[in-house]
Amino acid sequence: MTSPTPTDLLVPRDLGNGLVLRRATFDDRERLAEFHANILLEPDEIAPVDRLYFWILDLMSGKHPDFKPEDFTLVEETNTGKLASSLGLISQIWSYEGIPFGLGQIDAVSTDPAFRRRGLIREQMEAIHSLSAQRGELVQAIPGIPWYYRQFGYEMALSLGGSRICFRHQIPKLEAEASEPNVVRPATTNDMPFIVNMYRQATARSMVAAPRSEDHWIFDLEGRSALSGVRREICVIETSDPVRRPIGLLLHSHRTYDGQLAVQLVEATPGNPLLTLLPGVLRYLGMTGGDYAKREDCEFRAIVFHLGDEHPVYDSIPDRLIQGKPPYAWYIRVPDLPAFVRHITPALEQRLANSVQAGYTGELRINFYRSGLQLGFNRGAISVTAWSPVEMEDGDAAFPDLTFLQLLFGYRSLDELRHAFPDCWTSGDVARALLPILFPRKDSCVWDAE
């Protein structure tokens, strides 16, 4: 079946066998929330799951800054009205070395077991890809299950997650008769300029980032249901003196998970060292986690810092932390690779200008076996065009399948890819010299827009 055009997406489409694909409406809100809460489960969860039910309700509330009810697709049985499958597209802006680009995040992908293996997700993915293209989005991304989304043109090519654990006994105790130098309080809408600035500071360390508007922070603060699985407590760290200056931002979960309190963000203003800030923050998190655990009738065990693979917190208190889960990966799809590389050319030119190859003139041809890229260099200025190899050995470097995306998004280095894939190669000095400069291995920690 051919891919739908944007116009086709506005009307229901007959998939045969009594099934119709259409976009959701606000009236589908409750049934979609119930559908996903009964299907999109972790292996140890028992349906229905509140964290999913209220997350979907919030997404479809009409108040989410990046999502509207019609951004869900659904497949339903015409004679019964039963939902068979559904997924959503969260349109947003990400950045690559500070260069913004449109991205469509696919999420909440569910199919009733009775309707699986009928190609329903493929039909919806084609529709969503078309809608994303209509919106001018150069990239699509999914934080999804292993392997599955490779069949739709995705590659696991961007770091996702990564954590460190501080067990309860590793939390430093306050010395006798000493008082906390700082206090932690809930944020309010009056803190928006400070919150936005602190998050901007955090994302500056990430090669790929998801900038968040003030509207999104207000939705996080006031628009999320108490039982939503993506709700976070947003806190401001202040000095305890009468002036109460804000010196840091802290985000953590609103409950424990198996006795563990999750932390999603820790930032301090310049001039306030994490070394001196973190002991009090750990004590606050320990007390908060203990209170949550008591409420949940479980034992508080640890603080888990979900701050990516690298973070200043990890470097500040290494002896109080142990390795948690290693990073997983975002699935990335770039339907028009030359267009995306052209879009981020200013970042590539800056990397080249900061290197020993500044001012280089020449060309670099990258072979993907069935297609390719040609990068032209004119005293440091870079042009990007599509290129087609005639022979498998053509070009200065080759990357099988979609593995170049791992290099492009800093997930793997050139040497790592050459080690992992025998059919990834370089020929001559140009590729070996330029590719690590243009596409270095570099950490990213991207917040999605759920």
In a domain, 280, yes or no: yes
Q: What is the average pLDDT across 281-296?
A: 98
Given a cut of 80, whether residue 90 has pLDDT beyond it is: yes
| Domain end position, chosen among 297, 327, 357 | 327
Q: What is the mean pLDDT of residues 251-263?
A: 97
- State how far the alpha carbon of 362 is from the alpha carbons of 254, 350, 366, 377, 380, in Å: 55, 17, 14, 5, 9
Report d(CA 300, CA 339) in Å as an integer.
Answer: 50
Residue 425 in any domain: the answer is: yes
Least confident of 5-19, 47-61, 81-95, 400-414: 5-19
CATH number (domain holding residue 295): 3.40.630
Same domain membership, residue 315 and residue 173 = yes
Q: Is the pLDDT of residue 2 over 70?
A: no
* Contact (Cβ atoms closer than 8 angstroms) between residue 435 and residue 187: no
The pLDDT confidence band at residue 329, using thresholds 50, 70 and 90, is very high
Predicted structure pTM score? 0.95
Residue 282 resides in a domain: yes
**Longest Cα separation, the chain:** 77
Asked if residue 218 belongs to a domain, the reply is no
- Mean pLDDT for the chain overall: 96
Considering the domain architecture, whether residues 67 and 196 belong to the same structural domain is answered as no
Contacts of 54 (CB under 8 A, 6+ apart): 33, 225, 226, 227, 228, 229
**271 Cβ contact partners less than 8 Å away, ≥ 6 residues apart:** none
C-beta of residue 72 within 8 angstroms of C-beta of residue 64: no
CATH number at residue 64: 3.40.630.30
One domain, residues 22 and 112: yes
pLDDT confidence of residue 4: 58
Distance CA 95, CA 35 (A): 33
Instruction: State whether 97 and 43 are in the same domain.
Output: yes
Residue 9 has pLDDT above 80, yes or no: no
114 and 176 fall within a common domain: no
Asked if the model's pLDDT at residue 7 lies above 60, the reply is no
Does residue 170 fall inside a structural domain? Answer: yes
Domain-located, residue 450: no
Mean predicted confidence (pLDDT) in 321-327: 95
Residues 306 and 428 in one domain: no
Domain match, 114 and 35 both: yes
Is 369 within the bounds of a domain? Answer: yes
Q: What does the DSSP assignment read for 94-111?
A: EEETTEEEEEEEEEEEEE
In a domain, 189, yes or no: yes
Range of the domain at 369: 336-438
Q: In the chain, what is the straight-line distance between the N-terminal and C-terminal CA atoms, in Å?
A: 31
Q: 1: pLDDT confidence band, cut at 50, 70 and 90?
A: very low
Q: Is pLDDT at 52 greater than 70 in this prediction?
A: yes
User: Is the same domain home to 42 and 135?
Assistant: yes
What is the tens place of the pLDDT at every residue in 398-441? 999 999 999 999 999 999 999 999 999 999 999 999 999 999 99
Question: Residue 449: is its pLDDT beyond 90?
Answer: no
User: Contact 248/277 with Cβ under 8 angstroms?
Assistant: yes
Residues 248 and 359 in one domain: no
What share of the chain in percent tops pLDDT 70?
97
Please indicate, yes or no, whether residues 88 and 195 belong to a single structural domain of this protein.
no
Identify the residue whose tokens are 């919150």: 195
| pLDDT value for 450 | 82
Phi-psi region of 395 (alpha: psi -120 to 50; beta: other; left: phi over 0): left
Answer whether residue 164 shows pLDDT above 60: yes
Name which of 15, 9, 203, 156 is nearest 89 in CA terms. 9
- Regarding whether 411 and 267 lie in a shared domain, the answer is no
Q: What is the pLDDT of residues 124-150, one digit of tens each?
A: 999 999 999 999 999 999 999 999 999
Question: The domain spanning residue 395 has which CATH number?
Answer: 3.30.1050
Q: Are 450 and 143 in contact (CB under 8 A)?
A: no
Of 307, 327, 347, the domain-final residue? 327
Residue 72 has pLDDT above 70, yes or no: yes
Of 327, 346, 364, which residue constitutes the final position of a domain? 327
Total number of domains constituting the chain: 3
Is there a single domain that holds both residue 62 and residue 104? yes
Q: Which contacts qualify for 347-355: CB closer than 8 Å, 24 or more apart?
A: 347/96, 347/97, 347/98, 347/99, 348/382, 348/438, 349/380, 349/381, 349/382, 350/97, 351/437, 351/438, 351/440, 352/377, 352/380, 352/382, 352/434, 352/437, 352/438, 353/380, 355/437
| Distance from C-alpha of 387 to C-alpha of 377, rounded to nearest angstrom | 15
Query: Token pair of 14, please?
Result: 């007959």
